[in-house]
Amino acid sequence: MVTFSHSDKGTPEKVWEAAHWPDRFASLDLDGLKRLVVVSAHPDDESLGVGGLITHVAGLGLPIVVIVLSNGEASHPQSPTHDPARLAQIRRIEVTDALAHLAPNARVHLLELPDGELAEHVGIAAEEIVEAIGEAGGSTWVVSPWRADKHPDHAAASAAAERAARERGARLFEYPIWAWHWSTPDAAVWSEAAVRLFNLLPAERKVKARALAFHRSQVGPLSDSLGDEEIVPAGFRAHFARDYETLLEMTLNGAADAPPRPARARKPANRPPRVRADPNQTLTAGFFEGVYASGPDPWGFESRWYEKRKRSALIAALPRQRFSAALELGCSTGVLTAELAEYCDTLLCIDLVEEPLTIARERLAGRPGVTFECRTVPGEWPDGTFDLIVMSEVGYYCSANDLRRLLERCRASLAPNGVLVACHWRHPVAEHPLTGDAVHTQLTRVVGLQRTVHHLERDFVLEVYEPRPALSVAQRGGLVP
């Protein structure tokens, strides 16, 4: 339970300035750091607490993973203008914009766990952090909210980070947020902590300030209505405009004795592990030719219950019974194609290598209206418009720039009443330039499209987007106004 309020007067920044912390505590250097994993309980925690550290590490060219546990949809519980779903959508966009400014190449994982209830999901969060740490061990720094911050979600984030860091043997640091508000420099809570200060350059402070400004729903009011007040007012933001950031190093007794657990990754059967992908490089045909060399069904599309169930969920998410012209990107061997064809007059299916297309053509032989083409998208984009575009397990093979181009092509080719369906695996895979969550975050930025279906599981995310203003299935059927 939170025992303070953002509307409380709090400790002024001038009190902290008078404490001369740079004279009291040692500076933190980055010796030995090769990978940074930042955990945020809510969007904006990372920008407030360690935005300067993130941009500094990004400047060193080191890999950064940011894991945002919730969408922060409970930030304005009394808002008369924004419900939790709307706030979640806004804050997803805000945090991805802020992180793109702090560290353009950082991998961002939005777990979308329930705001205010993270204590019930520590295990899920810990698994994600373990995946992000990988095999780097002590050269990875995990940075999370401070356990003593008096916010239950921050304590849960800390618990998840500690569990993961202990398992992988990583170094663990925590950053205060609300402690600047309710505590004082001489409070006992500080004397019991290993406080370290990370000094920021003027340019890094400017980048951090700009990143924080992206969190518009928090640093400004949602409206003039009661209940829409700013959560991070100017007086509170002053704590995060310092020329240093405060981190507390946590001692993990027994961490060295914890046996390492191999990171899970979605890999085709009988395929050796590959090197980590370059996030700025889209995977080429050669990669997929190597994948299909292991067998005709390397991902188990035909054999795994997971795949069968996911296809059923995708088909069930279609908002209409019939489509005149459809496009399937990355059709592979045509397993999903066979089910989509039941709902489409014409269906153009694209893949960038011929081997799976040969199997797909045999599978759909004699099916009217279904055609297969070997193309590399977004460069070799087909002509025409489509009232259904399906992008299943495709987007994370793209670089961030190519993904933006791909989504722009989809939007431009979508009919006025068209439907864009996207479905992606959520767990990080070393070979993929992006994560599934990153793909779906980018989808929220496509101008003119409105999300009408959002199905989220631990393993995959399935969404449907339609041009604004979109009608629900019930509205189309005349069941509701």
Give the pLDDT of the chain (481 residues) as one tens digit per residue.
555 566 667 899 999 999 999 998 999 999 999 999 999 999 999 999 999 999 999 999 999 999 999 999 999 999 999 998 889 888 988 898 899 899 988 888 888 899 999 999 999 999 999 989 988 778 999 999 999 999 999 999 999 999 999 999 999 999 999 999 999 999 988 876 789 999 999 999 999 999 999 999 999 999 999 999 999 999 999 999 999 999 999 988 544 333 333 333 333 333 333 344 677 889 999 889 888 887 788 888 988 899 999 999 999 999 999 999 999 999 999 999 999 999 999 999 999 999 999 999 999 998 999 999 999 999 899 999 999 999 999 999 999 889 999 999 999 999 999 999 999 999 878 788 998 998 998 898 888 899 999 999 989 999 999 998 888 899 888 888 8
- Residue 350 sits in the same domain as residue 452: yes
Collapsing DSSP states into helix, strand and coil, what is residue 164? Answer: helix
- Residue 330 sits in the same domain as residue 370: yes
Find all residues with CB under 8 Å of 283, minimum gap 6, and list them. 277, 397, 398, 431, 432, 433
In one letter, which amino acid is 336?
L
- Give residue 452's domain range: 285-469
- Residue 234 sits in the same domain as residue 86: yes
* Nearest alpha-carbon partner for 149 in 175, 172, 171, 186: 175
- Residue 51 sits in the same domain as residue 185: yes
Element (H, E) at 130: helix 122-133
- Residue 53 sits in the same domain as residue 121: yes
Alpha carbon distance 146, 243 (integer Å): 20
- Is residue 474 one of the residues assigned to a domain? no
- Residue 219 sits in the same domain as residue 298: no
Beta bridge partners of 27: 197
- Residue 226 sits in the same domain as residue 343: no
Q: How many structural domains are present in the chain? A: 2
**DSSP code at position 397:** G
In one letter, which amino acid is 246?
T
Collapsing DSSP states into helix, strand and coil, what is residue 402? Answer: helix
* Nearest alpha-carbon partner for 101 in 262, 239, 215: 215
User: What CATH number has the domain bearing residue 44?
Assistant: 3.40.50.10320
199 φ, ψ to 5°? -80, 140
* Nearest alpha-carbon partner for 377 in 430, 327, 315: 327
User: What CATH number has the domain bearing residue 296?
Assistant: 3.40.50.150
Instruction: Tell me the pTM.
Output: 0.58
- Residue 235 sits in the same domain as residue 318: no
407 φ, ψ to 5°? -70, -35
Asked whether 34 and 26 are in contact (CB, 8 A), the reply is: no
- Residue 317 sits in the same domain as residue 240: no
From 204, 238, 257, the end of a domain falls on 257
- Is residue 8 one of the residues assigned to a domain? no
**DSSP code at position 248:** E
Alpha carbon distance 451, 467 (integer Å): 9
- Is residue 124 one of the residues assigned to a domain? yes
Residue labelled with tokens 């070799």: 380
- Residue 206 sits in the same domain as residue 342: no
